[in-house]
Amino acid sequence: MNKTAALFLFLLSAFAVEAQLVEYPLPSATRTKTKRLAARTQALDPTFLPFFDDFSTNDTLLRDSLWLYGQSVLLNNGMGIRPPSKNVVSFDGADSLGKPYNINDVLAKGFADRLTSQPIRMDLVNPADRAMVYFSFFYQLQGRGEPPDPGDQLILSFKAQDGTWENVYVLETNANMATDVFQQVIIPVSEDRFFHDAFQFRFYNYARLSGPYDTWNIDYIYLNKGRNINDTQFPDRTVSSSFTSLFSDYFAMPVRHFLDSIEVNLVKPQVELYNLKEFNIPSGETHVQPINYTTTAKITSRVNGSVSSLLVKLDSAQFPGADLPGLSFLNVTLNKIPGPSDFDINADSIHIRLKYGMSTKDNVLLADSGDYNPALYSPIDFRQNDSLTADYVLSSYYAYDDGAAEYGAGLNQAGTYFAYQFNSRINSVDTLTYVDIYFPEFGDNTNQSLLLQIRSILGDIAAAPLFEQLIVVQRSTMNKFVRYPLYRPVPVGSTFYVGWKQITNASIPVGLDKNTNNAAKMYFNTTGNWVQNVDVQGSLMVRPGFGKGDGNVVTGLETPAKPPVFFPNPSRGTCTLRARADAVEVYDLTGRRASFHWETFGEETTLTFDEASTGLFLVRTLINGRAYTQKIMVLPAGR
């Protein structure tokens, strides 16, 4: 095990003592669709006031024209809870590659992530206007990340004319801070030493340096003249969230299941909006904001290798039936979605891209009954955060997740079981042929295995599942799923469970999507009784897939032939199996991986234990997709 892996496991061991379904913070490089980028080391030409960024214009990259950053933060759409606009930047204790800043001391504290602006020509601000220059931003402690410890800090610094950095605002964790609300900070930038031709500001955090812990989220940064300490509202109505699903709980489902009952399977997605201004007219009279929106759906179908697309116009200037009050959120349910006639019933797969755009008084001038003052805000375009795109898939699998993991979750003890409930949307039996799982890189990345199981009910743990198969965990990054074909099709009915038995005490988390929440569909079993999960919130990135099968329902495993066994047993360190194994794993009775090697010769497999290995061992073999377990006693050599 490498040092980084050991540190992750050490830090999480305290959390894994009692809980059985455990949530794990992931290295940043494995967490989301958005990558932390390589360091930018050279500044571009200086920019000018106003400086504004709400991080909504791009889901993957910070804007080079605004940011010069060395140890970069994480741009994402999952860590913030109800941000002012979609997307935030997150600070923690891992660097731009997702690696801990300190791998030698798990308790080390220090300065971690940094976000630094490009140079700004503050020298061009008229001296008479400098008393009215203010800097504001929104922050959230923790959000969907890992909570900062008492004493952890988020720090804002300004660069003075002599090149030194001065801390101008410090947020320090305390028990009274809300973890699910964004707060706004506004401070003056009035000192003469900040008005020079290469002014910069930067955020950085003081945190535990041994991993992606102690999370702060930042959004909606604004620096400009003509402001005052009360200038905390903006003529901006934003999209604050992603879309919910078009298929109820699922973001993807088998196309045949969908087409079996199109109207039943479709639901109207929702999106959350936010109004950053309470007063919309100069008189100060309280006024709500009318929200109109338009939506379209591009439906791309594949039939026998032929691809065709259909653009469906849905809502046109549709008023949602409720105004958007100032400084408030509004959850909007789309008025219209595609109908049955928009889908090709012969399609092998269908991709749906839903586009949403709202029409408000953003950028409408005061003279036209709007609230945009170009003398203050130009060239900012507050309409940049008024649109949203979502993708939905009809293929061969079910997916609760939206495709991006913010965290991980999994079992933490050998001999425990996990089950994830799925409800089929077809009124007949269908056959599972594979399971896709995202195992992010985490902790001990040596080869590990799980006993994959398919169940029809959660009853007595001693009852045989419908199917089980030993799988070798293949870890990946950036939300890349690995497909595990089932060695035989498994017919399932309207409700089925996909899960596994934990073989060792190793931490093997599965990607956890925090943007969707199907916590109640997760179950674990540690004492013989199934317990519904309540602690881990989100959706595990496990996707059962369907294919051709015989359509017959089975209530247990097939009666196996007499299992092949290693001999001799007891052994002096070497034994033979009269079958060609696809994988072999050996553990002692405490669940620790034993030292051994194995090789195949024709239709035989030879297992050799390390010379120092003696005692009773558990040997698991995978032969033609079927898992077998055997106990082997290894005697000291020469006795």
Tell me: pLDDT of 187 over 70: yes
What is the domain-level CATH number for residue 420? Answer: 2.60.120
**Most confident of the following: 361-365, 473-477, 565-569:** 565-569
E strand or H helix that includes residue 331? strand 329-333
3-state class (DSSP) for residue 576 = strand
Mean pLDDT score, 422-426: 95
List C-alpha distances in Å: 442 to 91, 474, 538.
19, 11, 19
The conformational region for residue 82 under phi > 0 = left, psi -120 to 50 = alpha, else beta, is left
User: In angstroms, rounded to a whole number, what is the distance separating the alpha carbons of residues 573 and 637?
Assistant: 7
In sequence order, the 6+-apart residues with CB closer than 8 A to the CB of 361 are 235, 237, 280, 289, 369, 370, 371, 372
- Contact indicator for 204, 91 with CB cutoff of 8 Å: yes
Tally of domains in the chain: 4
User: In angstroms, rounded to a whole number, what is the distance separating the alpha carbons of residues 304 and 306?
Assistant: 6
Residue 420: pLDDT band by 50, 70, 90 thresholds? Answer: very high
Residues 570 and 439 both lie in one domain: no
User: In angstroms, rounded to a whole number, what is the distance separating the alpha carbons of residues 429 and 443?
Assistant: 39
User: In angstroms, rounded to a whole number, what is the distance separating the alpha carbons of residues 192 and 623?
Assistant: 76
pLDDT (0 to 100) of residue 36 = 39
Mean pLDDT score, 500-510: 90
In the listed set 395, 418, 446, which residue is the last one of a domain according to the structure? 395
∠ CA 553-554-556, nearest 5°, is: 160
- The answer as to whether 147 is a domain residue is yes
Q: Tell me the per-residue pLDDT of 227-281, one tens digit each, with 9 for 90 and over.
A: 999 999 999 999 999 999 999 899 999 999 999 999 999 999 999 999 999 865 5
What is the domain-level CATH number for residue 111? Answer: 2.60.120.260
Instruction: Give the range of the structural domain holding residue 312, as residue numbers without chain letter.
Output: 239-395
- The answer as to whether 113 is a domain residue is yes
- The answer as to whether 169 is a domain residue is yes
What is the domain-level CATH number for residue 302? Answer: 2.60.40
User: In angstroms, rounded to a whole number, what is the distance separating the alpha carbons of residues 106 and 634?
Assistant: 38
Top pLDDT among 581 and 330 is at 330
**Most confident of the following: 134-138, 529-533, 632-636:** 134-138
Top pLDDT among 592 and 175 is at 175
Top pLDDT among 319 and 54 is at 54
Burial of 18 (0-12, 13-18, 19+ CB in 10 A): exposed
Residues 429 and 463 both lie in one domain: yes
pLDDT (0 to 100) of residue 11 = 42
- Contact indicator for 299, 332 with CB cutoff of 8 Å: no
pLDDT (0 to 100) of residue 371 = 85
CB burial string 56-65: b at 16+ within 10 A, e below? beebeebeee
Tell me: pLDDT of 613 over 80: yes
Tell me: pLDDT of 570 over 70: yes
For the chain, what is the radius of gyration of the CA atoms? 28
Residues 505 and 542 both lie in one domain: yes
The conformational region for residue 575 under phi > 0 = left, psi -120 to 50 = alpha, else beta, is beta
Strands 539-540 and 482-492: unpaired
Which of these, 43, 24, 209, lies nearest to 111 by C-alpha position?
Answer: 209
User: In angstroms, rounded to a whole number, what is the distance separating the alpha carbons of residues 320 and 270?
Assistant: 11
pLDDT (0 to 100) of residue 444 = 62
- Contact indicator for 560, 627 with CB cutoff of 8 Å: no
- The answer as to whether 554 is a domain residue is no
User: In angstroms, rounded to a whole number, what is the distance separating the alpha carbons of residues 231 and 128?
Assistant: 19
- The answer as to whether 15 is a domain residue is no
pLDDT (0 to 100) of residue 17 = 42
Residue 464: pLDDT band by 50, 70, 90 thresholds? Answer: confident
Tell me: pLDDT of 551 over 50: no
pLDDT (0 to 100) of residue 561 = 56
Residues 221 and 258 both lie in one domain: no
- The answer as to whether 553 is a domain residue is no
Read off the tokens for 56.
């909504």
pLDDT (0 to 100) of residue 253 = 97
- Contact indicator for 83, 217 with CB cutoff of 8 Å: yes
Residues 506 and 379 both lie in one domain: no
In the listed set 232, 247, 274, which residue is the last one of a domain according to the structure? 232
- Contact indicator for 523, 458 with CB cutoff of 8 Å: yes
Residues 49 and 194 both lie in one domain: yes
Residues 253 and 186 both lie in one domain: no
Residues 578 and 517 both lie in one domain: no
Give the DSSP letter of residue 27: P
- The answer as to whether 560 is a domain residue is no
Tell me: pLDDT of 391 over 80: yes
Residues 190 and 267 both lie in one domain: no
What would you measure as the largest C-alpha separation in the chain, in angstroms? Answer: 99
Residues 538 and 444 both lie in one domain: yes
Strands (E) in 58-152, as ranges, are: 74-76, 88-93, 109-116, 134-141
pLDDT (0 to 100) of residue 418 = 96
Residue 580: pLDDT band by 50, 70, 90 thresholds? Answer: confident
Q: Tell me the per-residue pLDDT of 17-49, one tens digit each, with 9 for 90 and over.
A: 444 788 877 765 555 434 434 344 455 677 899
- The answer as to whether 364 is a domain residue is yes
Read off the tokens for 394.
């009809």
User: In angstroms, rounded to a whole number, what is the distance separating the alpha carbons of residues 136 and 52?
Assistant: 10
Q: Tell me the per-residue pLDDT of 73-112, one tens digit each, with 9 for 90 and over.
A: 888 888 899 999 999 999 988 765 556 788 788 788 999 9
Residue 477: pLDDT band by 50, 70, 90 thresholds? Answer: confident
Residues 94 and 152 both lie in one domain: yes
In the listed set 395, 418, 441, which residue is the last one of a domain according to the structure? 395
- Contact indicator for 455, 497 with CB cutoff of 8 Å: yes
∠ CA 488-555-411, nearest 5°, is: 75
User: In angstroms, rounded to a whole number, what is the distance separating the alpha carbons of residues 299 and 293?
Assistant: 20
Residues 257 and 287 both lie in one domain: yes
Give the DSSP letter of residue 127: G
Tell me: pLDDT of 325 over 90: no
Q: Which of 307-311, 316-320, 452-456, 529-533 has the lowest mean pLDDT?
A: 316-320
List C-alpha distances in Å: 155 to 19, 206, 619.
34, 8, 54
Top pLDDT among 559 and 331 is at 331
3-state helix, strand, coil in the chain (%, to 5): 10, 40, 50
Tell me: pLDDT of 200 over 60: yes
The conformational region for residue 426 under phi > 0 = left, psi -120 to 50 = alpha, else beta, is beta
The conformational region for residue 363 under phi > 0 = left, psi -120 to 50 = alpha, else beta, is left
The pLDDT mean for the chain works out to: 86
